[in-house]
Amino acid sequence: MKGAWLANLTWPEAEAKFADGTVLLIPVGATSKAHGRHLPLGTDAMLARVLADRVAFRMPILVAPVVGLGHYPAFADFAGSQQTSRETFVAFMTELLSGYLDQGCRRISIFNVGVSTEAPLREAADRIEARYGLRPHKAHMRNLGRAVDRFLDKPEGGHADERETSMVLAIDPGMVRLEEARPSPPGLPADGLDPLTGTLGDPTKATPEKGRRLLDAIMVDIIEGIEAEFF
């Protein structure tokens, strides 16, 4: 049985789904954040949307609209990149989650694509737990699909790297300017970023086949996480 996007339902249909305990998956991925010189600003939102859609094709969940604006301070100087303060993002996510809970939705899973949004999401979950006595389930993309690492040349990357570039190549190769891809310089910390390109890792090693493997593996990990948490 397939799932559905919440935006495609009427409010009575949504009410019924909340009442029967259907899991609500909330994808979080930036709609406007630098991803090197070779990937579009909307890369995170694309990955969030595509992966959530694949999960919904395979299990009867609801998918909320993608949360496209978050806390991304490292990218503030790259043209087109937009972000909120940490406190604004925490407050927004707390209100968003509260809204669903107040309407009767009790099973919520967050699929988060970014890294700098992890700590604010944890803080929002703390506030929700204190208020409602339950904690939203969370899945962070950087922890998922690691079974595919053995097929990657540089699995230790971190942003606009071999992993992300491969997935975008698999989804929509026309969106990748591979001729502009450059590896980040050696010696950057794990949470660092090349200030000239906005890259951490080596996107030149990306291929569509690696991307297909990653998309499949991440999808499976999301599904297994939801099943372990709620079923």
More confident residue, 85 or 186: 85
Nearest CA to 121 out of 189, 27, 55 is that of 27
Q: Span 208-231, mean pLDDT?
A: 98
Total of domains in the chain:
1
Q: Span 88-117, mean pLDDT?
A: 98
Nearest CA to 226 out of 15, 20, 23 is that of 23
How far is Cα 204 from Cα 169, in angstroms, rounded to an integer?
A: 12
Angle between helix axes 86-102 and 118-132 (nearest 10 degrees) is 40
How far is Cα 51 from Cα 139, in angstroms, rounded to an integer?
A: 12
End-to-end Cα spacing for the chain: 15
More confident residue, 175 or 193: 175
Classify the C-alpha dihedral 96-100-106-107 as positive or negative: negative
pLDDT value for 228: 98
Q: Helix, strand, coil shares of the chain as percentages rounded to 5?
A: 50, 10, 40
Q: What's 221's domain CATH number? A: 3.40.50.10310
Nearest CA to 112 out of 60, 58, 71 is that of 71
Distances (CA, A) of 63 to 92, 151, 214, 230: 18, 30, 21, 15
Domain range for 203 = 4-230
Q: What is the pLDDT of residues 56-82, one digit of tens each?
A: 999 999 999 999 999 999 999 999 999
3-state secondary structure of 24: strand
For the chain, give the mean pLDDT: 97
Q: What is the pLDDT of residues 36-59, one digit of tens each?
A: 999 999 999 999 999 999 999 999
Q: What is the token pair recorded at 223? A: 């599904």
How far is Cα 161 from Cα 22, in angstroms, rounded to an integer?
A: 35
